[in-house]
Structure 1
Amino acid sequence: MHKQNTGKGLKARLDHMFTDREFFMRSHGQVRFLTISARLQKRLFYTVAAALIFWLLVTLAMMVNQLTVTSERMALAQKEAEVNSTESRVANYKASIEDVAADLKQRQDVLDQMTEQFVGEQTEAAETAAQKQADEQLFENTRKISAAFPEAARLAELEARQIKFARRLTMAAIQRTKQAEEAIRKFGLNPEKLTKNSMAAMGGPLIPFFSNKDQQLHPTLERLNLALQRMDALERTLIAIPSGKPSSTGMISSSYGYRRDPFTGGGAMHSGIDFKGPRGLPILAAAGGKVTHAGWKSGYGKTVEITHGNGLMTRYAHLSKIGVTTGQKIEQGIQLGAMGSTGRSTGTHLHFEVRLNGRAINPRPFLEANSDVLKIKAIARQRASSPKRTESGADRG
């Protein structure tokens, strides 16, 4: 009964607030009446209130997500500090030197596998003040362990070297990740959006690092593993971005954007760049990928389309002949066909398009990549195609 009375009382107060209101306006001797009904006032009030509540909920969700990510990072750092502390390591050595030796051997196997799979030759990273302080603490811990257990001195030194190596490798991976991010942005693309799907699409059979199921990955190796996974995703994304010229000719007959249509004379959107050249001039793949269309396409004539991953696709149109087939996997620079004038065309040329998630974007940034960007891409391509990495079974299922 009390709840019903409360509800009726609230409704009565709202009804009292939102009553029909009339406004009088006088202009040039004429009086006009403007009526705003109570129903319209209520609708406006509820709309504004709902929008405000929605905004507050979205803001709260973003804050909670940020706090969760921050807390996870802090927890990992704290866990790493605890595992690497003098007390924890002394207790491990005291329990069983044989077990520690076996653990260190397994850890070395993990480091070797990670190095071959993701990096190849280690990249030198700049040593920070925090890194120097961590190394000094690591050296001090090793000295204390060696003093307390002389028979474990060599193992303690080996463990310290492994942790130091893993940290250096993590810094190198972070450095290469930043270089890849910067290179992707210079193409006018967002690295976070491009790698979102590739980071989520991972699978394959479970091959644990350790034979003991109860044994977890060392926090230092866990941090290294995360850094290497992100570096791998970004460098693979960078490799897939078109950067090679689709033709040896440098004559551009029509640029990307609005232009006068050559057939109708009216304004129209040109979704690519036209390269003018002789009939039969080789047409080359701007990046590696999979041929998803090789044949006739309305308006484009004989056309080849290559899907590069992460939503990127390149289109090569008006060809005189096609030299690839649908489903074929190709590398950058492979000849796709020859220049022609098939389809809706006024003369021999190549129509080149770059599309992102089905939407045409300006190809010029991809064709004008500077030498620094191409160098970073070449290093990433060399790492991805190295024999060691292929043998290590780094392909994702």
Structure 2
Amino acid sequence: MHKQNTGKGFKARLDHMFTDREFFMRSHGQVRFLTISATLQKRVFYSVAAALAFWLVITLAMMINQLTVTGERMALAQKEAEVNSIESRVSSYKASIEDVAADLKQRQDVLDQMTEQFVGEPPAAADQKQNDEQLSENTRKISAAFPEAAHLAKLEARQILFARRLTNAAIQRTEQAAQAIRKFGLNPDKLSNNATNAMGGPLIPFFKEQNQQLHPTLERLNLALQRMDALERTLIAIPSGKPSSTGMISSSYGYRRDPFTGGSAMHSGMDFKGPLGQPILAAAGGRVTHAGWKSGYGKCVEITHGNGLMTRYAHLSKIGVATGQKIEQGVQLGAMGSTGRSTGTHLHFEVRLNGRAINPRPFLEANSDVLKIKAIARQRAKTPGRSESGTSRG
């Protein structure tokens, strides 16, 4: 109702504005009348209003279009600036990659020279070709899409070959250690299992992402080095030094006639005859687990070497070490005597594996080749920065 009243009021105002109008003109004594009707006035008004409105619409559309074009030009200019910035960054990255690749290549050259000097001959061309063919698929894609990364792909190939050479060297040293352990009459697999069956600690993933893993070549190298480390440490722990400088053996390992009862008895070690006070030396490094009187053995020292191995030095006149002390091969433990169940001055020497006495003779008669392999393993274990267990040196 209000809208209808408003409409009627507007129409009334228009009717009031546009009424019939008469104009008269006098010319040469004559008067003429010109009448402009209200309808004509309205038509002229509406035509002018429509033209003005159309002009305003066209002007507004042109302004909007101009603003749109300006915005698009600004966006295009911004994109061009971003592209230029990306191209600049890519160029910077390319230069950076080339610098990094050059630095890594120089380091790899040094590693290859060191490996050639201490491990073996340089890789053959056939090995290099095979290595190139086994590049990872990701590296191939990167090289194809980003030629500057080809240097890194070549470095990856050299690193894989480098890891393989180290793996072969570790396998060779592992086999040498295993052969040396067998010459002592021991089983290398059982001994190394004794060394690795007691492990623990909190879980700290090597990679942040759970699905990340070592490259298969590096994984094989890691396993080979762990195997080598276990066997070489096992070899180091095996007693091979003579417990006394005297070479007089008064009784060997095995069954014999007991010197007190005259009956058959099992002799669990070897007896070395010598003067009173003769220095008694550790046959291998380890930790002293007993230093004192022991029934039947008199004054006695026991050294645990790890991997289930233990040596016993009995009938001493005096003891020069304490329980819990960590010692190395060749350290003086005490002096020869005749304490305990003994008929004269001598050293009773035992080697025990997992609590069972075994024949000490193979340990005392190790040839020079075995001792050389053991010395190499001991030198590696003494390298600064390596962690050592208290029962792995000797």
TM-score exceeds 0.5: yes
**Residue 206 of structure 1: how far off its partner (Å):** 4.8
Q: What amino acid is the match of 2:234?
A: T
Answer whether contact 2:312 2:350 (CA < 8 A) is retained.
Answer: yes
TM-superposition CA deviations, 1:67-108 (whole Å, max 9, x none): xxxxxxxxxxxxxxxxxxxxxxxxxxxxxx99xx8xx99xx9
Q: Which runs of 5+ in 1 are unaligned?
A: 1-96
Greater C-alpha Rg: 2
| Length, aligned pairs only | 284
Could you say what secondary structure the match of 2:334 adopts?
strand
**Residue 213 of structure 1: how far off its partner (Å):** 4.9
Q: What amino acid is the match of 2:261?
A: T
1:177 and 2:174 equivalent?
Answer: yes
Larger RCO: 1 or 2 (CA < 8 Å, sep 6+): 1
User: Within 5 Å, which residues of 2 pair with 1:136-155?
Assistant: 137-138=133-134, 149-155=146-152
1:344 and 2:367 equivalent?
Answer: no
2: CA distance between counterparts of 1:174 and 1:246?
A: 33
1:383 and 2:343 equivalent?
Answer: no
TM-superposition CA deviations, 1:266-290 (whole Å, max 9, x none): 1111111000000001000000111
**What is the RMSD computed on CA atoms of the aligned residues?**
3.4
Could you say what secondary structure the match of 1:388 adopts?
coil
Answer whether contact 1:301 1:319 (CA < 8 A) is retained.
Answer: yes
User: Within 5 Å, which residues of 2 pair with 1:297-336?
Assistant: 297-336=294-333
Q: What amino acid is the match of 2:235?
A: L
User: Within 5 Å, which residues of 2 pair with 1:1-397?
Assistant: 123-124=119-120, 134-135=130-131, 137-138=133-134, 149-206=146-203, 208-390=205-387
1: CA distance between counterparts of 2:375 and 2:153?
A: 39
Could you say what secondary structure the match of 1:387 adopts?
coil
Could you say what secondary structure the match of 2:229 adopts?
helix
| TM-score after normalising by structure 2 | 0.65
Question: Between the two proteins, what is the percent identity of the paired residues?
Answer: 78
Could you say what secondary structure the match of 1:389 adopts?
coil
2: CA distance between counterparts of 1:132 and 1:258?
A: 60
Answer whether contact 2:269 2:349 (CA < 8 A) is retained.
Answer: yes
TM-superposition CA deviations, 1:227-277 (whole Å, max 9, x none): 111111111100000000000100101111111111111111111100000
Alpha carbons of structure 1 residues 218 and 140: separation in structure 2 relative to 1, 3 Å: closer
Alpha carbons of structure 1 residues 395 and 329: separation in structure 2 relative to 1, 3 Å: closer
1: CA distance between counterparts of 2:126 and 2:348?
A: 53
**Residue 137 of structure 1: how far off its partner (Å):** 2.6
Could you say what secondary structure the match of 2:260 adopts?
coil
Alpha carbons of structure 1 residues 271 and 127: separation in structure 2 relative to 1, 3 Å: farther
Answer whether contact 1:275 1:350 (CA < 8 A) is retained.
Answer: yes
Q: Which runs of 5+ in 2 are unaligned?
A: 1-92
